[in-house]
Structure 1
């Protein structure tokens, strides 16, 4: 089996400051990996580099065995769900936020049914009534789970997660753990949550932009 993600001696410099230095690792489909380290160690920068948000100074990032280039980065983004600590839902209501991607040509033929919407919400311990609520009036933890629900509805297989359990209570956190126990989903995450770390099969330790 070939890696879905591979960093080969990747260094990244932003505003003349080196934020990643000679980073190498690989992640196979279905693996659950977590990036650990102190604040400022470069954890989130790994995710942003994969998404093409940071220019690579040296080395190569491979996605599905293809080198990351300005042209190929769109392929990465189309296959990936990135969920940060405060996701942007980009719609007035939760229902509109969930259905927003299905307005575009690429997903128009895969618009989910009402029963599918409800099923995904229930998996994530979200009430059906949340569909009619304003996006501006839901909590950070609810926003994270709505963003995750949108990824599931789109059939995303790769998830880049940045402190995705930080605003969740125990029951909601367990629901998220259960979703990502799916062997078909590949996860590269950033967290300080020891419960999340325990459930990951691979732990990458970062210190000052280097994998230790």
Structure 2
């Protein structure tokens, strides 16, 4: 089986500092991997490198067997949902935020029906009437789940998640766990949450930009 993502002896420098050093790992379809380590250990830098936001100083990143370049970065972004600690929803209302990607050429003509919007929200313990609310009047935890719902509506199968349960209560976390139990979804995440880590089948530990442990 070909890995979706492969880092091969990757090093990255930023602001005259080495932020990743000789990182090598593979991520296969359906895996749920979590990057662990202290603040500044390079966890989020791995996600940004994969999205083409950091230039490589050494090594190579492969996506579905192809080396990272302009075209493969576009392919990664087209099939990936990246969700940070406080997602920017990019629209005034929750409804508009969920429908925003469907205005673009790549997704035009695939706009979900009302019932699909409500189903995606309910899967994540969000009420249907949140569609009417302003994006700047909802909580961080609600923004995280709305960003996840948008990924589900778009049919994304690769998720890059940065502390995505950091603002969730127990019931909301359980809903997120249930969504990502789907074997068709591949996840590379950053987390400190022990509950999230315990549900991942791969734990990759970093220290000062180096990979020190990879446990499956």
Q: TM-score range by the shorter chain?
A: over 0.9
* 1:193-208 → structure 2 map (5 Å cutoff): 193-208=193-208
Separation in structure 1 between the aligned mates of residue 66 and residue 151 of structure 2, nearest angstrom: 23
Q: CA deviation at 1:72?
A: 2.2
For 2:71 and 2:145, how far apart are their aligned partners in 1?
30
Cα distance in structure 2, aligned partners of 1:154 and 1:70: 22
Spell out structure 1 runs of 4+ moving beyond 4 A.
none
Shift, 1:105, TM fit: 1.4
* TM superposition shift of 1:70: 2.7
Where do 1:29-68 residues align within 5 Å? 29-68=29-68
Gap regions ≥5 residues in structure 2: none
Residue 122 of structure 1 corresponds to which residue in structure 2? 122
Q: Which residue of 1 aligns with 2:132?
A: 132
1:106 CA drift (Å): 1.1
In structure 2, what is the equivalent of residue 5 of structure 1? 5
Q: 1-side partners of 2:155 and 2:66: how far apart? A: 21
User: Which residue is equivalent to 1:25?
Assistant: 25
SS of residue paired to 2:34: strand
Cα deviation for residue 109 of structure 1 reads 1.6
1-structure distance, mates of 2:28, 2:8? 15
**Superposed counterparts of 1:177-192, under 5 Å:** 177-192=177-192
* Greater Cα offset, 194-203 or 71-80: 71-80
Aligned to 1:155: 155
SS at match of 2:147: helix
DSSP-derived class of the 2:57 partner: strand
CA distance in 2, matches of 1:73, 1:167: 29
Tell me the distance in 1 between the aligned counterparts of 2:40 and 2:95: 36
Q: CA deviation at 1:10?
A: 0.2
**d(CA) in 2 for partners of 1:71 and 1:106?**
15
Cα distance between partner residues in 2 of 1:169 and 1:20 = 33
Q: Please give the TM-score of this superposition, normalised by the length of structure 1.
A: 0.99
C-alpha distance in 2, partners of 1:109/1:71?
A: 24
Residue 173 of structure 2: aligned partner: 173
Say yes or no: does 1:146 pair with 2:159: no
1:27-81 Cα offsets, whole Å, 9 max, x none, are 0000000000000000000000000011111100000111001332111111100
Give the 3-state SS of the residue equivalent to 2:183 in structure 1.
Answer: coil
Q: Root-mean-square deviation (CA), in Å? A: 0.5
Q: How far apart in 2 are the matches of 1:201 and 1:109?
A: 36
Gaps of 5+ in 1: none
SS in 2 for 1:2: coil
